[in-house]
Amino acid sequence: MERVPIVKIGRTLFVSIQIDLQDESVLRLQEDLADELVRTGANGVIIDITAVEIVDSFIGRMLTMIGSISRLFDAETVLVGMRPAVAITLTELGLSLRGVRTALNAEKGLELLNGRS
Amino acid sequence: MDVDSSQGRMAAFMRDHQEKVVGRWCELVVAGVRGRLSAVEVRRELEDLYSLVVRAMSGADEQALGELRAELAELSRSRARNGFTPSETALGVFALKDAVYELVADAADLVPEYLAFSRMIDDLGLRTVETYAAAREEIIADQAVSMLELSTPVVRLWQGIIAVPLVGTLDSARTQLVMEKLLETLVATGADHAVLDITGVPTVDTEVAQHLLKTVNAARLLGAECTISGIRPQVAHTIVSLGIEFGDIATKATLADALAHALSRAGLKVGPA
């Protein structure tokens, strides 16, 4: 199973998903991210899904869950770089990803997090 | 007498009288199209057709019938595109019967052959009408597509602010197109604010509202904020009567208000110069 690397930049954790998301790798990411949040005390998470072309309802729900988990550690999650096709799919599935903020690209995501703190 | 040889006799007869028949046929067709095609054009088309008809009837050439049908289909498609009516198109084919009949009337022994010939021309005429109808359908479908494209422009109002002026009823096909174009423009321009202007949407019912909400949600997933503008008094009334909730989506009366809102969200202020 492929693992998604988590990079710490300042007080932000940066997760760039470059692989085809399988259910297990998303679950693994969830666990890794929680561990990393505890270890580093980061206050923001940026998930870059520029390379993700296919999503299903499970992955949509997992993204929301990652947002909820991060909030428990007082960290805000920003989902960046979503492709139009992915956005349309998620909307058609009726998932609006409540609790997760979104930005067009990583730069704007960082601005969003920094503007908050 | 079997069918093949009777057709063969008819074919021979028609080949012998080609000059006369084609001439008469041209006269009839040119009179029928009332000057929208020149006699030279008509003659060129009909000469091709005539030689194919003769070849098809002589029975020697198996491909001739197929070629004849293809040629006729092409002819009726071009007639459909140039705005001729279906009867004008079909009469062009049926006129051949008249042209031939005028000659056959003098030769009584060819009447049974003429009947077989007549059936074939009827069949070809019907085919022409069918192709004509199909071609019109194609034209209508093409127009619908280009209208769809014309009706969904995405315009840039300011750096980072784009607007979609919606005109006409929002159905699912339109919504899909609007959504795709809006999202693509958001990504391409890096805009983070979009205004959906519904001044040109005649009525907003629950379905249209549902489509608007979907579009706004999709834009939000890309990190863009959406404002809905151009809500007319009657539309506001309908929205409230139907109990439609736009939730936390900002709604404004006019596009100007929406632009002012978007500018202030972007931290910009417009004042007197």
CATH number at residue B248: 3.30.750.24
Q: CA angle at residue B171 from B168 to B174, to 5 degrees?
A: 75
* Within a domain: A1: no
Same domain, B90 and B50: yes
Same domain, B115 and B85: yes
What's the number of domains chain A is made of?
1
Query: Which range, of A50-59, A85-94, B57-66, B147-156, averages the lowest pLDDT?
Result: B57-66
CB–CB contact A104 B184 (8 Å): no
Same domain, B99 and B176: no
Same domain, B39 and B113: yes
* Within a domain: A54: yes
Q: What mean pLDDT value characterizes chain A?
A: 89
CATH number at residue A83: 3.30.750.24
* Within a domain: B272: no
CATH number at residue B71: 1.10.490
pLDDT of residue B4: 55
* Within a domain: B273: no
Do you know the residue count of chain A?
A: 117
Same domain, B237 and B103: no
Same domain, B251 and B210: yes
* Within a domain: B271: no
User: 3-state class of B72 per DSSP?
Assistant: helix
Is B34 a residue whose pLDDT tops 80? no
pLDDT of residue B244: 85
Q: What's the mean pLDDT in B183-188?
A: 92
Q: Nearest to residue B113, comparing CAs of B16, B17, B3?
A: B3
Query: Which of A76, A83, A96 should we substitute to test contact with B (largest number of B Cβ atoms within 10 Å)?
Result: A96
Specify the higher pLDDT residue, B109 or B73. B73
How many other CB atoms sit within 10 Å of the CB of residue B251? 18
The verdict on pTM exceeding 0.80 is no
Dihedral class, residue A81 (left if φ above 0, else alpha if ψ from -120 to 50, else beta): left
Query: Looking only at Cα atoms, what is the longest distance across chain A?
Result: 37
pLDDT of residue A49: 92
Q: What is the DSSP letter of A19?
A: S
pLDDT of residue B6: 63
* Within a domain: B210: yes
CB–CB contact B217 A109 (8 Å): no
Same domain, B115 and B239: no
Query: Which of B162, B178, B179, B221 should we substitute to test contact with A (largest number of A Cβ atoms within 10 Å)?
Result: B221
The residue range of the domain holding B179 is 155-265
The domain boundary residue, chosen from B114, B132, B148? B148
Q: Nearest CA of chain B to the CA of A5: how many Å?
A: 23
Contact B13, B50 (CB under 8 A): no
The domain boundary residue, chosen from B92, B127, B148? B148
* Within a domain: A17: yes
Contact A53, A77 (CB under 8 A): no
Query: Looking only at Cα atoms, what is the longest distance across chain B?
Result: 98
pLDDT of residue B149: 74
The C-alpha atoms of residue B191 and residue B197 are separated, in whole angstroms, by: 17
CB–CB contact B214 A105 (8 Å): no
Of B192, B218, B224, the CB nearest to A91: B218
In order of A31, A50, B76, the CA distances from A78 in angstroms are 18, 13, 60
ipTM: 0.79
Q: Which residues of B touch A99 (CB under 8 A)?
A: none
Same domain, B14 and B142: yes
Contact B18, B50 (CB under 8 A): yes
The C-alpha atoms of residue B81 and residue B75 are separated, in whole angstroms, by: 10
CA B178 to chain centre: 21
Is A3 a residue whose pLDDT tops 70? yes
Contact B76, B99 (CB under 8 A): no
Is B131 a residue whose pLDDT tops 80? yes
CA A7 to chain centre: 13
CB–CB contact B221 A109 (8 Å): no
Contact B180, A84 (CB under 8 A): yes
Is B1 a residue whose pLDDT tops 70? no
- DSSP secondary structure string, B43-76? HHHHHHHHHHHHHHHHSS-SHHHHHHHHHHHHHH
Same domain, B50 and B160: no
Same domain, B20 and B125: yes
Q: Tokens 């084609």 belong to which residue?
A: B22
The residue range of the domain holding A11 is 6-116
The C-alpha atoms of residue B175 and residue B180 are separated, in whole angstroms, by: 8
What's the number of domains chain B is made of?
2
The domain boundary residue, chosen from B148, B177, B197? B148
* Within a domain: B114: yes
Same domain, B65 and B164: no
pLDDT of residue B65: 81
Is B24 a residue whose pLDDT tops 90? no
Q: Nearest CA of chain A to the CA of B166: how many Å?
A: 19
Contact A59, A69 (CB under 8 A): no
Six-digit token pair at B79? 């007639």
Q: What is the pLDDT of residues A37-81, one digit of tens each?
A: 999 999 999 999 999 888 888 888 888 889 999 999 999 999 999
